[in-house]
């Protein structure tokens, strides 16, 4: 024995004393069904939002937006790369540039997304991980301070 101390490996667990985490985030949270549920719940909120709904030209049928956001989030979190195969690089700021994304729009988006994330009943680790990304993404989309 060399006298060197072997480090203890860190094991991430879904809950205190629960299963250890394996696979990528997309797999860990349940794959496509989880992201479909998230995005559909999000757009249920958008349908009633007088500020955000006009930003969706295909309203009231939001299926195109649902498909795009589901694909983007799946790809970001380690799922299929269908989004890039269909649409190329995400270029989120560029794609949102035609719309007035001010702090009110950001806050409304976050409100609907928080309600949608809550429907998933994720582990605290997964919820915090997903929410941190969504919050950062929403902050980054703000392109004006005008009302």
Residue 52 belongs to domain spanning: 25-141
Q: Is residue 17 part of a domain?
A: no
Least trusted range by pLDDT, from 9-18, 39-48, 86-95, 127-136? 9-18
Q: Which residue has the higher pLDDT, 16 or 51?
A: 51
CATH code for the domain of 62: 1.10.490.10
Distance CA 122, CA 126 (A): 6
Query: Phi/psi at 47 (nearest 5 deg)?
Result: -55, -25
Q: Is the pLDDT of residue 10 over 60?
A: no
Residue 14 has pLDDT above 70, yes or no: no
Is 7 within the bounds of a domain?
Answer: no
Number of domains in the chain: 1
Please say whether the beta carbons of 68 and 83 come within 8 A. yes
Using one digit for the tens of pLDDT, what is the confidence trace for 71-92?
999 999 999 999 999 998 888 8
37 within domain boundaries = yes
Inside any domain, residue 146 = no
What average pLDDT does the chain have?
88
């Amino acid at each position: 024995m060399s006298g060197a101390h072997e480090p203890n490996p860190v094991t991430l667990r879904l809950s205190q004393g629960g299963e250890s985490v394996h696979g990528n985030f997309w797999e860990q949270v349940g794959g496509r069904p989880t992201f479909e549920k998230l995005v559909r719940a999000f757009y249920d909120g958008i349908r009633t939002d007088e500020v955000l709904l006009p930003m969706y030209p295909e309203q009231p049928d939001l299926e195109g937006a649902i498909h795009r956001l589901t694909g983007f989030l799946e790809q970001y979190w380690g799922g299929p790369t269908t989004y890039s195969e269909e649409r190329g690089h995400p270029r989120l700021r560029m794609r949102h540039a035609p719309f007035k994304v001010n702090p009110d729009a950001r806050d409304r988006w976050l409100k609907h997304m928080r309600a949608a994330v809550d429907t998933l009943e994720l582990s605290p680790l997964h919820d915090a991980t997903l929410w941190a990304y969504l919050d950062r993404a929403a902050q980054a989309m703000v392109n004006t301070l005008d009302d």
